[in-house]
Structure 1
Amino acid sequence: MLKGTKLYSIFTGTCPVCQNESMYTSPNLYNPSKTQEMRERCSHCDTKYKIEPSFFYGSMYVSYGVGVGIAMIAFLLGYFIFELSRWNIFLIIAFISIFSLPIVIRLSRNIWINIFMDYDKEKDQKRQ
């Protein structure tokens, strides 16, 4: 239903151009040695993921925003919905921040690459 949109590529981690293949070599987010390991190119449309050396350094800026967003949601839920103390909210935010780190890393990379690349319907249907 969402295929062909940037949101589909961002949340599934697929190639931003054809959206047919995962950009990552391992689907397991919590394997520390493979969290950031990406394929060099898409085997379907031959898109090169690392446009230039150190391309994904820019995703660090995105990850800051994503991390702050997650912390804000945790704070708002804890403070206004569950009426927890500030100390408990702090502990919850720390816990969520640590365990959501692999998700934030991949999500930030997906957002960053989707800023520079667009879906191409012709490349999507190229080998079907």
Structure 2
Amino acid sequence: MRKGSKLNSILTGSCPRCQNESMYLDKNLVHLNSVLKMHEKCRNCGLRYQIEPSFFFGAMYVSYGLNVGVGIAAFIISYLFFDSSIETSFIAIIAVLIILFPILLRLSRNIYINMFISYDPKAAIKEI
């Protein structure tokens, strides 16, 4: 991934404007109590991550789409490739969604903020 691409910012969770700093206080996804705790703003470019009050409520819609996609993929893999029963396939969907929960939460926030903020090479150089 090259710096400056939205994909880089989405997958790394870095600031969408400068891509020099992580948006999250704790990069470890295993710490479930701090999975969504974010810095207030980027220390490099000064971008406020919560652009408006309740900004990340919109990420719930992105999260819904991601969860549906992952659920469909889990069902297809379980039912068609492993020839599981319907009941086993639904258990597989639930298990996969529980395991991927923290990843999908962050990914949905990363996608949502990157829908509104673009990379700025001038901000990447600027040090505050």
Name the TM-score class by shorter chain.
Answer: over 0.9
- Alpha-carbon distance between aligned partners in 2 of 1:20 and 1:81, rounded to the nearest angstrom: 41
Displacement of 1:60: 0.4
Displacement of 1:28: 1.3
User: What number of residue pairs does the alignment pair up?
Assistant: 127
Q: Deviations over 1:68-109 (max 9, x none)?
A: 111111111112222111111111111111111111110000
Pairing 1:4-43 to 2, within 5 Å after superposition: 4-43=4-43
Q: Percent identity?
A: 49
3-state SS in 2 of match to 1:104: helix
- Alpha-carbon distance between aligned partners in 2 of 1:2 and 1:80, rounded to the nearest angstrom: 36
Partner of 2:106: 106
Partner of 1:59: 59
Give, as a single letter, the amino acid of the residue that structure 2 aligns with 1:15. Answer: C
Pairing 1:80-95 to 2, within 5 Å after superposition: 80-95=80-95
Q: Deviations over 1:28-67 (max 9, x none)?
A: 1122220110000101111110001110000001100000
Compute the TM-score of the two structures, normalised by the length of structure 2: 0.95
- Alpha-carbon distance between aligned partners in 2 of 1:15 and 1:111, rounded to the nearest angstrom: 12
Question: Tell me, which stretches of 5 or more residues in structure 1 are unaligned?
Answer: none
Partner of 2:120: 120
What's the C-alpha RMSD, in Å, of the aligned pairs?
A: 1.0
Partner of 1:47: 47
Partner of 1:76: 76
List structure 1 segments (4+ residues) > 4 angstroms apart after TM superposition. none
3-state SS in 2 of match to 1:92: helix
Question: Tell me, which stretches of 5 or more residues in structure 2 are unaligned?
Answer: none
